[in-house]
């Protein structure tokens, strides 16, 4: 399924509490409000973007995959909009968004400081940038969690653990600071295998 239907895979994952529920809890913890302008980078098939739009936010989802964006746009029954775009060059004016989100994206981008600088550019002064990503030790945490699962959940968790490309949260905080973001919080999920770093633009 991973190779033949990536949009279907991520849509199915979003229906699982350990994945989609984790993303919802992440965004709820940010205190997002209706009418805020939100950019989700690496939006995939658009599941989280549509959830946020249903909560009243003005959401744009971007992904480098035209296939993902076609799926996202075709499934949209909300005010979310989608377009093909990729870090570190976004077709967006400075300070366009109130919040920029990136889940499992920074860890797979080659030039991470440039990506964070671009995320900072497109958020307004006082706005939030928040990134969710696996950390060193994620494979071990994923294997522990997988033993409590079965079927698709178990296979997906183990696969993510093997391919998650972990990233050090201390390094992310340093890059946030260089980009002009004041780190607000570092939190975790999935038994500490996932980190969430959030900063506010100075």
pLDDT digit string, tens, across residues 72-82: 988 766 679 99
Domain locations along the chain: 6-133+166-201
Answer yes or no: CATH 3.40.1400.10 is held by domain 6-133+166-201: no
Residue in the structure block whose two tokens are 């989700």: 40
- DSSP state string for 70-132: HHHHHH--SS-EEEE-BTTB-S--TT-EEEEEEES-GGG-S-HHHHHHHHHHHEEEEEEEEEE
What pLDDT score does 7 carry?
A: 80
Q: What's the rounded Cα separation, in Å, for the pair 171 and 163?
A: 20
- Residues of the chain under the 70 pLDDT cut: 1-4, 76-78
What is the pLDDT, as a whole number, of residue 1? Answer: 39
- Which are the contacts of 188, defined by CB distance < 8 A and separation ≥ 6? 135, 194, 195, 196
118 touches 62 (CB < 8 A): no
Give me the sign of the Cα torsion angle 25, 30, 33, 36: negative
SS3 156: helix
pLDDT for 5 = 78
Provide the pLDDT for residue 29.
96
Tell me the pTM: 0.93
């Amino acid at each position: 399924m991973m190779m033949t239907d990536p949009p279907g895979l991520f849509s199915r994952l979003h229906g699982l509490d350990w994945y989609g529920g984790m993303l919802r809890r992440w965004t709820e913890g940010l205190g997002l409000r209706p009418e805020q302008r939100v950019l989700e980078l690496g939006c995939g098939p658009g599941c989280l973007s549509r959830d946020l739009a249903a909560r009243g936010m003005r959401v744009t989802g971007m992904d480098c995959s035209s296939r993902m964006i076609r799926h996202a746009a075709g499934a949209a029954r909300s005010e979310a909009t989608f377009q093909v775009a990729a870090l570190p060059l976004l077709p967006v004016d400075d300070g366009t968004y109130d919040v920029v989100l990136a889940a499992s994206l920074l860890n797979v981008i080659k030039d991470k400081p440039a990506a964070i600088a671009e995320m900072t550019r497109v958020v307004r002064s006082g706005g939030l940038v928040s990134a969710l990503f696996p950390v060193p030790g994620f494979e071990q945490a994923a294997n522990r969690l997988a033993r409590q699962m079965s079927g698709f959940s178990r296979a997906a968790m183990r696969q993510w653990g093997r391919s998650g490309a972990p990233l050090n949260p201390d390094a992310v905080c340093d890059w946030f600071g260089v980009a002009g973001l004041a780190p607000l919080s570092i939190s975790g999920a999935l038994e500490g295998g996932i980190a969430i770093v959030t900063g506010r633009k100075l």
